[in-house]
Amino acid sequence: MSLTSYRVQIAALCMLASGLAGCQTNPPLQNATGVSSMDVDSSRKGPVSGVGVEGQDIVAMTDQMMRDILAEQIFADTGKRPRVIIDSAYFVNESSQAINKNIITQRLMVNLNRAARTRMQFINRQNSAMVEQERQLKRSGTVDTGTTGLTKAQAGADYRLSGKINSLDSRNVKTGMIQRYTQISFELTDLESGEIVWAGIYEFSRAAADDVIYR
């Protein structure tokens, strides 16, 4: 090996060693301008909030709805257990805010199911195709009848929840201030007679200089 080649190899090794040493001693980069993640109480206003429907509103509203519905005499603990459908199929958002309606109806249904299992039954109409598929498998002998036996048909419902979300927005073009009035109404309808057996309305108004983006 020539002297020149030897010197080139030594120089390359020195540069590699220097780079490795730098990687080992330099501290990891820190995002000095960022904000660390934090846990937020879902029942309270968080650090990112605006004028629309937010998590704490849904928690408070569905808790109040549960109490209001259970106060109705038709859901008294008589052993009759009326059948109820609670989903977002007939829940309409006509407000200026984008919102996942399932967040509201699912939380209400789960809380009622926990609190009122002896007072009402909940019918899963959204997954009726899944139920029908299993019923056909049982009746064809492809699978056994399970442990609860067979029924003549899927369960019919006595009442169904429907509702609407509406809002009214105003803006001061000079100051940029935004104000929004939000109204959320619910109805439980008798699916045989069409009678509205319970209705509830929940409303609030908020103002802010800068609104947030809801998704």
Distance CA 108, CA 53 (A): 16
Closest CA to 121 of 147, 152, 160: 160
- At residue 15, the pLDDT reads 61
pLDDT (average), residues 32-58: 77
Those residues whose C-beta lies under 8 Å from the C-beta of residue 189, and which sit 6 or more positions away, are 159, 160, 162, 195, 196, 197
- At residue 25, the pLDDT reads 53
- At residue 5, the pLDDT reads 60
Q: Is the pLDDT of residue 79 over 80?
A: yes
pLDDT (average), residues 60-81: 90
Q: How confident is the model at residue 66 (pLDDT cuts 50, 70, 90)?
A: very high
pLDDT tens track for 171-200: 888 888 889 999 999 999 999 999 999 999
In 160-171, which positions are buried (b, 16+ CB within 10 angstroms) versus exposed (e)?
Answer: bbbbbbebeeee
CA atoms within 13 A on the CB side of 143: 11
Q: Is the pLDDT of residue 23 over 70?
A: no
pLDDT tens track for 82-131: 999 999 999 999 999 999 999 999 999 999 999 988 899 999 999 999 99
Q: What is the DSSP string of 49-90?
A: --SS--HHHHHHHHHHHHHHHHTSGGGSSSS---EEE-SSTT
Average pLDDT for the chain: 85
pLDDT tens track for 3-14: 556 555 555 555
Closest CA to 209 of 7, 14, 50, 61: 50
Q: How confident is the model at residue 80 (pLDDT cuts 50, 70, 90)?
A: confident
Distance CA 160, CA 192 (A): 11
8 Å CB contact between 191 and 201: no
Distance CA 129, CA 148 (A): 19
pTM of model > 0.85: no
8 Å CB contact between 171 and 99: no
